Amino acid sequence: MKPKNRYSAILETIFTSKFKPGMRKVDFARAEFETVASDLGIKSPKNLGDLIYSFRYRIPLPDKIQAQAGKGEIWIIRPNGRGLYRLALVDDHPIQPNVNLATTKVPDATPGIVTKYSSDDEQALLARLRYNRLVDVFTSVTCYSLQNHLRTFIRGMGQVETDEIYVGLDKKGAHYVFPIQAKGGKDNLNVVQIEQDLAVCAHNFPGLICRPIAARFMGGGIIALFEFEQADDTARISAEKHYKLVPPEEVTKEDLENYRQRTAD
């Protein structure tokens, strides 16, 4: 059985064994994966965490789980403690770029050697954000990269990880923290990541203004950036912009006039 099918069989079995009509959450533990795999007579995942990662960012939940969501709702997997998880029913608000949004050209400051050897994964995306100061451009705050891959333990969630942490300063002297989530390739952004980032801010940087950011590659070399805010016990998109890194000569007078008109609106 292929990993995707094994993962679906394991999670579906756990869900159906616990779910009763009307329930909006189903708790389970990572330790259950091996037991269920053995009961089903299938090979247990080598990396138990990969099962959770796959359903969050790469593949849809099994049909039998999705069928128990109401109209306009979706099941998501939230952390619920060390090695513990919760399938929760929430409003369906996928984090997908708005294809009708205008794109802003930015002169590409990425070093040529970095461009030559980078791919389309999250590290390449984070590098482009950093070299081109796109977080500064997007937020209108002077920002500095503080740490990559910050891992911390949050009570009630367990261990969580943020791709990169920026701190920043605005013209009034206020201090900010920007947890950054980046997705390249075929991986999707997930609201659970943003919820975790909000918790990281509250835990590690309680005195700073928290503004979670997510980034992903789009087609044609466009980078979509999202900002989020806390709303209705989850995270909602508060801003979205699209940027395209181009050689300086490709930023035309017409482009600049267009951008100038934006500032006048």
- Locate the domains of the chain by residue range: 3-91, 103-264
Residues 6+ positions from 123 with CB-CB distance below 8 Å = 184
- The sign of the CA dihedral 188, 231, 171, 106 is positive
- The sign of the CA dihedral 217, 219, 223, 227 is negative
For range 17-38, the mean pLDDT:
95
Longest dimension (CA), the chain: 67
pLDDT in tens, 234-252: 889 999 999 999 999 999 9
Q: How many angstroms separate the first and last alpha carbons of the chain?
A: 57
pLDDT band (50, 70, 90) for residue 264: low
Residue 119: predicted pLDDT: 78
Q: How far is residue 203's CA from residue 28's CA, in Å, rounded to a whole number?
A: 25
- Predicted confidence (pLDDT) at residue 91 exceeds the cutoff of 60: yes
Which stretch of 111-120, 173-182, 234-243 has the lowest confidence by average pLDDT? 111-120
Q: How far is residue 146's CA from residue 111's CA, in Å, rounded to a whole number?
A: 21
Q: How far is residue 13's CA from residue 15's CA, in Å, rounded to a whole number?
A: 5
For range 74-94, the mean pLDDT:
92
Helix (H) or strand (E) holding 225: strand 222-231
Find the DSSP H helices in the chain: 3-18, 32-40, 48-57, 63-66, 112-117, 122-131, 134-139, 191-204, 253-264
Q: How far is residue 30's CA from residue 36's CA, in Å, rounded to a whole number?
A: 11
- Predicted confidence (pLDDT) at residue 185 exceeds the cutoff of 80: no
For range 108-133, the mean pLDDT:
92
- Predicted confidence (pLDDT) at residue 172 exceeds the cutoff of 80: yes
How many CA atoms within 13 Å lie on the side-chain side of 175?
A: 6
pLDDT band (50, 70, 90) for residue 186: confident
Q: How far is residue 169's CA from residue 176's CA, in Å, rounded to a whole number?
A: 6
- Predicted confidence (pLDDT) at residue 14 exceeds the cutoff of 80: yes
Residue 174: predicted pLDDT: 97
- Predicted confidence (pLDDT) at residue 41 exceeds the cutoff of 60: yes
Residue 265: predicted pLDDT: 52
- Predicted confidence (pLDDT) at residue 132 exceeds the cutoff of 80: yes
Q: What percent of the chain has pLDDT above 70? A: 98
- Which residue has 């995707």 as its token pair? 4
- Predicted confidence (pLDDT) at residue 1 exceeds the cutoff of 70: no
Two structure tokens written together for 80:
């619920």
Two structure tokens written together for 118:
């980078």
